[in-house]
Structure 1
Amino acid sequence: MLFDKDLLDDVPSAFHPELRRYQAQFAERAGAAGVAQAQNCLSTRPHLRQQLLRVWVGSDFAAQACITNPDMLLEMLQRGDPDRPLEASTLAPELARQLGECSGEQALDQGLRRYRQRTMVHVIWRDLNRLATLEETTGALSALADACIGQAMAFHYRELAQKWGVPTGGESGAVQPMLVLAMGKLGAGELNLSSDVDLIFAYPETGATNGARKNLTNQEFFSRLGKKLIKSLEANTADGFVFRVDMRLRPYGQSGALVFNFDALEDYYQTQGREWERYAMIKARVAAVAGVADGTAVARQLLALLRPFTYRKYIDYSAVEALRSMKALINREVQRKGMGEDVKLGPGGIREIEFIVQAFQLIRGGRDRRLQERRLLVLLPVLEAQGCLPAGAAAGLDSAYRFLRNTEHAVQAYQDRQTQMLPTGELDRRRLAWSLGYGDWAAFTAALDSHRTLVNAEFQAVIADPHDDVESERDRDWIPLWQAQLDRDQALALLGGHYRDSDAGRVFELLEQLRESRHIVTMQAAGRERLDEFVPRLLGALAEQDETAETLARVLPLVEAVARRSAYLVLLMENPGALKRLISLCAASPWIAGQLVKSPALLDELLDPRTLYSPPDKESLRDELRREVLRLSWEDLEGHMEALRYFKAAHALRVAASEVTDVLPLMKVSDYLTYIAEVILEHVLAVAWRQMVDRHGRPGGAQDDDMNFVIVGYGKLGGIELGHGSDLDLVFLHSAEAGRFTDGERQLDNQTFYTRLGQKIIHILTAQTLGGTLYEVDVRLRPSGNSGLLVSSLAGFEKYQGADAWTWEHQALVRARVVAGSRRLAGEFEAVRAAVLCRRREDAELRREVVQMRDRMREHLATRGAAQAQDFNIKHDRGGIVDIEFVVQYAVLAWAYRDAALVRYTDNIRILGCLEEAGLLGTQEVTQLIDAYKAYRSMGHRLALQGQASVLSGSQFNAERETVERVWQRLLESP
């Protein structure tokens, strides 16, 4: 006997009759010699005896396969196959060897079925004995399907080509392959033990075969090929079947053609593709190609063609509506058919986990390529890291998914049936629980319920309608107003009951203007339905604001801007918190409202207050940008430019949001804005460098880790004082040897290379794209200004600063620092800067030149005439920001020869601190100047966010102005 009494005693007695029956049937089929051989193998490997018993208890299919084909079992035992993981990469070559040169369809079909049966037993054995991970099991099953599809299609392609000729493209004349697009679990490499395979057949071009007797159109050829492939896979013969094939996911479903060319596929998905088809296409993968030696390129072409349909470039919350509708249909079907015990479709089942993950893929996958991943378990930690799932949710869903999939496999392993329904019979329930390692059904169901409860809670958080509550009842009060069902008096009465009386009339007029807007009048029905649902919610949320009319006036341009892309309205409806943050921020700042109108994609930033109000440090910014561009090639300049523009806009919004809500103080705001610019400049330089090097080679003496090139930031960038909308003052320097050339085929001399590098950097920064520009760039501070070289050598820069530079250029050098490029050259630049700034100057001449420059600036920029007595320009008028900056610059140029510490920093506040430490300015004076400088800049930021000019009434900041003017008089105008 295969199983002795001691071993059977370890198994519940309820299973003994069936095990004895299996043993008797095996003995009858294998004969005495076969039984002896099996016992010998099992005695030398005792662990296999225990494993075989568990397999025969858990899988009637595996037991019957071993009984029907005892040689298969004996071979597996002799080779010790159960101890070896199934390597997915070995299945296709192994199947190809076993099939060899098939003599005909019958031999092919028999070979496929026998190989499938043997592999399935191997998979079930390892799965039921928990020798394989879920990834091994699903990966091996998917690889088995790929191998069978590939071998069968290759065989039939050859046979048909011999009879009808090879299909060729009508335009290209190239041999036409057929591609099998795997969908669903096969596409994701997550096939289960009894999955059918969802397939779509495609070929590149229309055309015809080149047969000697009669030609077929490519459509006819590939239709015949598809039918033969399906028959080889799913026909049920004496040897069973290979895989059930489901072609219903193809365009037009069962009523559509069996196979489509690429143009027809693209046209269908662009014009008629539905949301559920987008959901299905997430997992699409080319599983096999027949007709060409290497199908990699054509497979990549097909997937690239389908990707724009699957993944929108914008944040697409309309996907949630579609998934919610799909889930509602599934729920109704589950209830109608009594499928509550289905571990896939029931509450908290496998499908809900898939919906959770795929919702975020559809919403964000077009913007974040990391989400264009087919494997669910790989995506879970990514989603949690991005804040899409709460902390700990990924681990909980991972554990639940593994439990549910293992349960699904145990259910299917029993009879190789495509079902996910839990058994109802007592014996079958005991068998399932025991197969999964539980003592009884109650212990198993307790674990199952725990996992399903967790899954359903996460599913409800993602998919459930957030407005199925009292709040939606409140919003319904506003529907008659928006639908123009009230006359003016009734409308004003309703508005007056919720808003200030002074706002009611303006709100009424704004809503009328929106209704009559051309964008709204010409909306399609689906978009108009979303707008009609959104506006009442907006009006309800506005009731919490004081300045209702003004806030609405700032929000409605955004509503009008996204009217034709109503997925953004869905985003706000799906996330009530985001809608409240939108209203709050627009109320606080018209600048923020304007940024959102220009770039509605930024609405995504409002979803998570943790990131919106918690700006990252510089290293985190680098990491985030690195992730954003991870999958972009260096050649994709447009892709990098768009990624950079969104990155900058998103973080500028976070800065502004943090500033208007007082999360960030002034100094941190400037730091953050400066870090954003520096990280962007680092990446822009890297992209420009790579593109130049790929085209021309590296300049003589340069390496990728030392470009012999730096970007120097002046002004606000150099002084770490960037504000909202600041431009960048840049100077480009190199240290390459003259007379040397690049090492590429298209050589350039070093100077020309670096000049073109500088031009490319400016182009990337200033080019107008769909995402706008990155920054306005000013390069007039380079040596000799507009008449000088765009990129100077450090030696030339040093010579110019020493012999030809004006005093105002030395003033500008006070706030100059390297912001990107070679670390070595940055150190050399700093040495040159320090040497220039620490030079001893004649004080009277220095003061005269500084004052003259300041007077010229006032003449052009300061408030003049009668307005001078009434208004104060906080930047340019006497006692303002520029006066403080000139005081600091004068002090450095006048005294740095006495104390080199004055040139250590480039920002005004820390330089003032150094002046105090050196005893060159008094503590009270420094404190007053710093306080005034911070107050001015803080007011300037607030005015910028309010879209106002930096001009105040003359009575404001009188004390600060007097302090600054007093210091100015003492240092620069006293004899």
Structure 2
Amino acid sequence: MSDAPSDSLTESHWQDWLDWAVEQGLTPPDDPEFEPARRRVWEASEYVAISAARHPADLAELIASGDLARTYGAGDLAARLDARLEGAEDETALHKALRLLRRREMMRIIWRDIAGLAPLEETLEDLSELADVCIRGALDRLYPWTCAELGTPRDASGRPLHLLVLAMGKLGARELNLSSDIDLILAFAQPGTIEGGRRPLSHEQFFVRLGQRLVQALANKTVDGFVFRVDTRLRPFGEVGPLAMSFQAMEDYYQSQAREWERYAMIKARPVAGDPDDIEQLMSMLRPFVYRRYLDFGAFESLRELKRLIAKELYRRGMDANIKLGPGGIREIEFIGQAFQLVRGGRDPELQVRPIRTVLALLAQRELMPAEAVAQLDAAYVFLRLVENRLQAHRDQQTHRLPDDGPGQLRLARSMGYADWASFAVDLNAHRHLVQEQFDAVFALPATETEVEDAPLSAVWHGDRDPAHELELLERAGFADPEGVRTRVQQFRESCVRKGLSTRGHERLGLIMPHVLCVAAGCAHPDPALERVLRVMEAIVRRSAYLAMLAEHPLILTHLIQLSSLSPWFADQIGRHPLLLDELLDPRRLYAPLRRESLEAELDALLAHVDAEDLEQQMERLHQFAQGNQLRVAAADLTATISLMVVSDYLTEIAEVAVRRVLDLSHAHLVARHGRPTAIEGEDSGFLILGYGKLGGIELGYGSDLDLVFLHGSDSVNAMTDGPKEISNEQFYARLGQRIIHMMTTRTPSGQLYEVDMRLRPDGAKGMLVRSLKSFEHYQNENAWTWEHQALVRARPVAGDPGLAARFGAIRRAILCRARDPDQLRREVREMRARMRENLDKSGEGRFDLKQGAGGIADIEFMVQYTVLRWAADHPALTDWTDNVRLLDTLARLDLLPGHCAQDLTEAYKSLRAAYHRSALREQPKTVADDALRPERERVRALWQELMDD
């Protein structure tokens, strides 16, 4: 930038300072960078030029201290204020000290900003820190003075109560600009009455008086100016509400009377003064008001409306040149970030942050917006905030309006590093255009809103035409029973009226339902597809957030209808747990289930901000984790993105990750209370969870329960835990098992994690819930039935101590590798299978039981278990695996089954399991018609006769 001459008036102010300096025997620094910087500052900021001329000692001290050239450290500003306040004995002295500090620091901050010595982040941070220390410094004096005058407010226990100050807006986010007012909300912990003063006084009266003094200390104009303009209108009830309110009164307000825009405002709320315990209480109370636990897409609609009102007001007042509120301005960037925060912040606590640039970075990191778009928004934000500061630095005025006069435009352009207004305007307009483009993309009206009038089945939903015409539309669309569909839609519409749906709810349904009818009509079987989705709609219709989500994202409806048409299980899961609608938002995630490492990371994120003692929230997040990931597997399965065998792998990994986390949480809870068990076998917890059955065999299906067995590594009945509330190891592990079962099986509003079956433990249902590994080994060696050894074939550690897991593996191998009498073994296995078929086989009346029928899945499993127990003594490799397919592969490799027996059993097993699996997704009985899968079943029966019958 060339050094064009500065305005002669501002240069005369510099000459005034030089004349004063000569009188004081001072000279400007001989640093060659000082004068160019000074000229830039004087040209851009008439406020600094005049302040230096009127208060020359301030600039001299800034130069001498070196503060113009250095970045402040933590606590520097607070220390400076403390020094100024050291002799302040009354409010007059307090006011003067605050204003003198503000004048000095504003000169420094503006100098460093315009001279290019401080990046934007430093400028905003210094301004915010200045406001913080002034608020706290003022309160530190005003509170004891007010107590001395009126008495001290105390809670029921006698603890003194202090004023809590919430900074809102830019101060709340520590993004204060050069001439911003500060938005404050004042609160106190408890109502009550002050005794011992000159007269009884309510806590509210005390804190209102203290709040008034605080506002006056900051905002009153004196001969020394002011500190900060203060705006308290964001408080409950606005200007007509009390200046300070109790926490209870605030909670009542925000729960019942707060307006939608107050949620947006509260995103930035940051406590700057108050008792730490009170602060935690208030913020915990406010958090649910701001951040809903579901994805709240009503935020887009509300922010869209708020922006519309702002734009209307700006147009009326002719303020398109406003870089904060105008098109492509700072507020639009903030709205983009706030929309995603309000929608997702309840589910993603990391989004519960205040600075907008941090929010933008998270949007890119989570792929909620394209990284390039976020980079453009961030660059525009930095540029526009710099422009805002340069506008306000000129005369320390709170303005956001671009100048319309030539000198003003040139001054602004040069302060931003441009030679002229034209070159500056090119970049300014480019940034604003990009911001407006991104804002319009994020807040665009949903496709349903723009297309609904053209939807061919819109008339069917609205029911405003001739019934015959509606039936003709439905028949033409492909519905098999137009009359039944029309009646069902009419019933749903009338039920919405009976449920007292709001006007906005009916409007949203008017956008959603024509789309539902059209997409359902395009399914292979439109009638059941529509019925399943209507059941989902009935479950969510009174929950405005979900209607808003569907209205904003019609693609969710498309996925829901198409997947529900393939599986009633899918629709029922959504209907029972509407939170799962969130999973349909991103097709990249929906059809790409996560593997173990990613599952662990997702669960880490879900539980990261849950209190260690909040059992209910832990269970809720675990349910959310398991249900969401099972739904993704189903979506990928239904669309044939993954194969059957991989489906079971995915479902098994979800269960394992959940079980391991339940164990970790339960163990940590008990250790915190009782310490760790002592004198145990193992490397870590001394506790092991075994998976049997489908979990052990890595063959879980949808809705499978978990067969679990709990073991521990403590053998001494006298061993105790090492905590202050010691208990015996036996008690510790029994309680650990009970807590695990509780967390796994307790039904909460979001459902149940898993059904758990513990009957395969030693001695079955009458046995101890948790047994020692040594006791387990003894039982397996001395008391176990053959069927229990069959079950052991499919048993494996799924969570717990790695040392115990290795020891269990050795015990299992030794048991399975026992030499056995082949004839006796065959007879016992055959007899057990016969008893099972007699009790459980549901074949008959033209249907075949896929699992228990003769030639079904159980026959294959029993044959595999028999061959493992028969041959493991000679071929220990048979104990390496627990799943049927790899066991059959091993049997084939070892040539232990005749001919193509292993291959035939494998193919039959896959076919039968696929049918069983599909029945689960269709919520049908696990049976097929008698003529289905007949070749596979006959081959299994023939192999059973060859292998198992005499």
The normalised TM-score by structure 1 is 0.94
CA distance in 2, matches of 1:881, 1:483: 51
Deviations 1:499-555 (A, max 9, x none): 43x231121111222133277443344433433443233334433334322112111
Name the structure 2 match of 1:667.
645
> Quick one: which of 40, 59, 70 aligns to 2:45?
59
CA pair 379-470 structure 1, distance change in 2 beyond 3 A: closer
| Offset, 1:758 | 0.6
CA distance in 1, matches of 2:680, 2:400: 63
What SS does the aligned partner of 2:154 have? Answer: strand
Name the structure 2 match of 1:539.
517
Indicate if the aligned counterparts of 2:449 and 2:511 stay in contact, CA closer than 8 A: no
CA pair 964-851 structure 1, distance change in 2 beyond 3 A: same
CA pair 921-123 structure 1, distance change in 2 beyond 3 A: farther
Unpaired segments ≥5 residues, structure 2:
none
> Quick one: which of 829, 847, 852 aligns to 1:876?
852
Structure 1 residues 554-563 or 709-718, which shifts more?
A: 554-563
| Offset, 1:708 | 0.9
**Equivalences for 1:137-536 in 2 at 5 Å?**
137-169=123-155, 171=156, 173-289=158-274, 295-467=275-447, 471-475=451-455, 478=457, 480-500=459-479, 502-517=480-495, 520-536=498-514
CA distance in 1, matches of 2:427, 2:697: 61
CA distance in 2, matches of 1:504, 1:875: 39
> Quick one: which of 751, 754, 757 aligns to 2:733?
754
Indicate if the aligned counterparts of 1:88 and 1:143 stay in contact, CA closer than 8 A: no
Name the structure 1 match of 2:17.
26
CA distance in 2, matches of 1:915, 1:396: 61
Name the structure 1 match of 2:663.
685
| Offset, 1:612 | 0.6
Deviations 1:742-780 (A, max 9, x none): 011221111111111111100100011111111110111
**Equivalences for 1:633-652 in 2 at 5 Å?**
633-652=611-630
Name the structure 1 match of 2:532.
554
Indicate if the aligned counterparts of 1:474 and 1:540 stay in contact, CA closer than 8 A: no
Amino acid in structure 1 at the alignment position of 2:299: A
CA distance in 2, matches of 1:89, 1:498: 71
Name the structure 2 match of 1:102.
88
Amino acid in structure 2 at the alignment position of 1:213: R
Name the structure 2 match of 1:811.
790
Indicate if the aligned counterparts of 2:219 and 2:227 stay in contact, CA closer than 8 A: yes
Amino acid in structure 2 at the alignment position of 1:371: L
CA distance in 1, matches of 2:464, 2:453: 18
Name the structure 1 match of 2:689.
711
Amino acid in structure 1 at the alignment position of 2:546: Y
Amino acid in structure 2 at the alignment position of 1:151: G
Q: Is 1:46 equivalent to 2:32 in the alignment?
A: yes
Amino acid in structure 2 at the alignment position of 1:444: F
| Offset, 1:895 | 1.1
Indicate if the aligned counterparts of 1:311 and 1:366 stay in contact, CA closer than 8 A: yes
CA pair 238-703 structure 1, distance change in 2 beyond 3 A: farther
Structure 1 residues 311-320 or 621-630, which shifts more?
A: 311-320
What SS does the aligned partner of 1:37 have? Answer: coil
| Offset, 1:599 | 0.7
CA distance in 1, matches of 2:434, 2:682: 50
CA distance in 1, matches of 2:497, 2:853: 45
| Offset, 1:220 | 2.0
> Quick one: which of 781, 784, 794 aligns to 1:802?
781
CA pair 898-439 structure 1, distance change in 2 beyond 3 A: farther
Deviations 1:784-818 (A, max 9, x none): 11222211111111111112111111111111111
Indicate if the aligned counterparts of 2:452 and 2:514 stay in contact, CA closer than 8 A: no
CA distance in 2, matches of 1:316, 1:926: 53
**Equivalences for 1:533-682 in 2 at 5 Å?**
533-682=511-660
Indicate if the aligned counterparts of 1:888 and 1:911 stay in contact, CA closer than 8 A: yes
| Offset, 1:922 | 5.8
CA distance in 2, matches of 1:946, 1:626: 32
Amino acid in structure 1 at the alignment position of 2:140: A
CA distance in 1, matches of 2:936, 2:671: 53
What SS does the aligned partner of 2:896 have? Answer: coil
CA distance in 2, matches of 1:139, 1:704: 52
Amino acid in structure 2 at the alignment position of 1:608: D
Structure 1 residues 716-725 or 503-512, which shifts more?
A: 503-512
What SS does the aligned partner of 1:884 have? Answer: helix
| Offset, 1:215 | 2.8
Unpaired segments ≥5 residues, structure 1:
1-9, 290-294
| Offset, 1:308 | 1.9
Amino acid in structure 2 at the alignment position of 1:367: R
Q: Name the count of aligned residue pairs.
A: 949
What SS does the aligned partner of 1:168 have? Answer: coil
> Quick one: which of 742, 752, 757 aligns to 1:778?
757
CA distance in 2, matches of 1:468, 1:645: 32
Amino acid in structure 1 at the alignment position of 2:471: L
Indicate if the aligned counterparts of 1:519 and 1:563 stay in contact, CA closer than 8 A: no
Indicate if the aligned counterparts of 1:14 and 1:427 stay in contact, CA closer than 8 A: no
**Equivalences for 1:858-937 in 2 at 5 Å?**
858-864=837-843, 867=845, 870-921=846-897, 924-937=900-913
CA distance in 1, matches of 2:448, 2:916: 44
| Offset, 1:184 | 0.8
Indicate if the aligned counterparts of 1:164 and 1:210 stay in contact, CA closer than 8 A: no
CA distance in 2, matches of 1:921, 1:609: 45
Indicate if the aligned counterparts of 2:152 and 2:160 stay in contact, CA closer than 8 A: yes
Amino acid in structure 2 at the alignment position of 1:896: A
| Offset, 1:422 | 2.1
When the two chains are superposed, the root-mean-square deviation of aligned CA atoms in Å is 2.1
What SS does the aligned partner of 2:147 have? Answer: helix
CA distance in 1, matches of 2:501, 2:827: 66
Indicate if the aligned counterparts of 1:837 and 1:903 stay in contact, CA closer than 8 A: yes
> Quick one: which of 847, 850, 853 aligns to 2:829?
850
State the identity %.
46
| Offset, 1:157 | 2.2
Amino acid in structure 2 at the alignment position of 1:199: L
| Offset, 1:736 | 2.0
| Offset, 1:127 | 2.1
The normalised TM-score by structure 2 is 0.96
Name the structure 2 match of 1:292.
none
Indicate if the aligned counterparts of 1:142 and 1:189 stay in contact, CA closer than 8 A: yes
Indicate if the aligned counterparts of 1:187 and 1:374 stay in contact, CA closer than 8 A: yes
What SS does the aligned partner of 2:308 have? Answer: helix
What SS does the aligned partner of 1:642 have? Answer: helix
Amino acid in structure 2 at the alignment position of 1:910: R
Name the structure 1 match of 2:808.
829
| Offset, 1:840 | 1.6
CA pair 443-919 structure 1, distance change in 2 beyond 3 A: farther
Deviations 1:470-524 (A, max 9, x none): 523324x655543443353233233334343x23112111122213327744334
| Offset, 1:86 | 2.5
Indicate if the aligned counterparts of 1:123 and 1:140 stay in contact, CA closer than 8 A: yes
| Offset, 1:446 | 2.6
Structure 1 residues 85-94 or 189-198, which shifts more?
A: 85-94
Indicate if the aligned counterparts of 1:758 and 1:790 stay in contact, CA closer than 8 A: yes
Deviations 1:130-174 (A, max 9, x none): 3333332222211111111122233222222222212234x5554
> Quick one: which of 887, 912, 922 aligns to 1:946?
922
What SS does the aligned partner of 1:581 have? Answer: helix
CA distance in 1, matches of 2:256, 2:97: 42
> Quick one: which of 107, 113, 121 aligns to 2:99?
113
CA distance in 1, matches of 2:397, 2:902: 83
| Offset, 1:128 | 2.2
CA distance in 2, matches of 1:954, 1:102: 96
Name the structure 1 match of 2:723.
744
Indicate if the aligned counterparts of 1:503 and 1:548 stay in contact, CA closer than 8 A: no
